[in-house]
Amino acid sequence: MVTYGQSQAEKAAEENEVCRQIVREIANLGINQRQVLLVMYLMATEVENVEHMKALTHLIRELGDDDLFLIGKPIIDTEVGGTDGTIDD
């Protein structure tokens, strides 16, 4: 029997190697743990199965710190204004 092209196992192994290369490149950027979780969250939003996407993003949000997305926290600039973030006249 003559086989043309790649077997399923060879194709999967090649795809897995590409994934490992992507992870190495991201790690080489020197990202911190918050950034790792954020990248994982953003990748999870690309999952085609909606139920899987929801489960993954929910889990990553639970595992992440409150500042994972840096949304919803007031930024107080004490150099410009008072402690409430307003500008003093």
Which residues does residue 81 pair with via DSSP β-bridges, in sequence order?
87
State the Cα angle at 28 between 18 and 69, rounded to 5°. 95
What is the number of structural domains in the chain?
A: 1
Q: Residue 47 falls within a domain, yes or no?
A: yes
DSSP state of 5: S
Q: Residue 76 falls within a domain, yes or no?
A: no
Q: State yes or no: pLDDT of 6 exceeds 60.
A: yes
pLDDT digits 0-9 by tens, 39-76: 999 999 999 999 999 999 999 999 887 777 765 555 56
Domain that holds residue 42: 8-63
pLDDT digits 0-9 by tens, 24-39: 999 999 999 989 999 9
Q: Residue 75 falls within a domain, yes or no?
A: no
